[in-house]
Amino acid sequence: MALAEGWKQRRKRNPLLRALRFALLALVAVLVLPYLLVLAYASSVVHPVSTLMLVDAAVGRSYERSWVAFDDIAPVLVQSVMMSEDGQYCAHGGVDWNALNLVIDDALEGEATRGASTIPMQVAKNLFLPAVRSVIRKGLEIPLALWADLVWSKKRTMEIYLNIAEWAPGVFGIEAAAQTYFGVPAADLSGRQSALLAVTLPNPHARNAAKPSRGMTRMARTIEKRAAQSGAYIKCLYD
């Protein structure tokens, strides 16, 4: 009895043990919190912010973002983004395993890899994880994407994605992007404007939808054609 009491007293006095216990509890909280937030973000009245927006706010940088409902976004913009970023969006459950396995095989063989991030994976990254690329981040991103795809409808996932994506430095969300680049609301974007915005997404700090390079213009033409033929791919959003 006395030995047990003595151990308890030593443990209470040991600051290292207390610090380790606190660090472990903090780690568990950080890992669990995103899964709880996914449940909260299922409601359409909640307008989530991304980690990049939080960083901008923390360092005193201003940013633009006006939330817009999914039904107030031009369908051609949705089609263009889907065809550019995640053509199998309606078919997979948050992760495109075929594309991911191809990337893993290429990496193991020492070949250059291409992106395999689905829209749910990008939403998970933008909402909950740092922008630094790493294997650890990808390992956290995949289960979060699967969970989000299970909890949210496809329409809600796309709505969140289009409202938190960065389209230009300090410009987040499709409404702010449409106004910044073309002076129109997201509901009035044309097919060409939508395609240019879609090809801007992978590198918004280097690409300008209003002043596209030849390469951007060429990619936008391809995306515009794909969007016009995408009826079979978008049924999960408009049926």
SS3 labels along 156-191: HHHHHHHHHCEEECCEECHHHHHHHHHCCCHHHCCH
| Same-domain check for residues 26 and 54 | no
| Same-domain check for residues 17 and 52 | no
- Would you say 198 and 80 are in contact if contact means Cβ atoms under 8 Å apart? yes
| Same-domain check for residues 30 and 90 | no
| Same-domain check for residues 22 and 139 | no
| Same-domain check for residues 46 and 83 | yes
Task: Please tell me the distance from the alpha carbon of residue 72 to that of residue 81, in angstroms, as a whole number.
Answer: 15
| Same-domain check for residues 129 and 31 | no
| Same-domain check for residues 87 and 6 | no
| Alpha-carbon distances of 97 from 90, 91, 121, 170, rounded to whole Å | 14, 11, 12, 32
Residue 139 per-residue DSSP state: H
The domain that contains 79 carries what CATH number? 1.10.3810.10
How many domains does the chain fold into? 2
Query: Can you give the pLDDT at residue 116?
Result: 73
Instruction: Provide the phi-psi class of 14: left if phi over 0, else alpha when psi is between -120 and 50, else beta.
Output: beta
Query: Can you give the pLDDT at residue 113?
Result: 46
Query: Can you give the pLDDT at residue 102?
Result: 74
Query: Can you give the pLDDT at residue 20?
Result: 75
| Same-domain check for residues 23 and 90 | no
Query: Can you give the pLDDT at residue 112?
Result: 44
**Structural domain harbouring 227:** 41-238
Query: Can you give the pLDDT at residue 142?
Result: 93
Task: Return averaged pLDDT per consecutive 10 residues of the chain, 239 residues in all.
Answer: 55 70 68 93 96 92 94 97 94 88 61 70 94 83 96 98 96 97 98 97 95 96 95 87
Residue 86's nearest CA partner among 115, 124, 52, 59 is 115
| Same-domain check for residues 10 and 101 | no
| Same-domain check for residues 99 and 179 | yes
| Same-domain check for residues 64 and 3 | no
| Same-domain check for residues 33 and 46 | no
User: Amino acid identity, residue 49?
Assistant: V
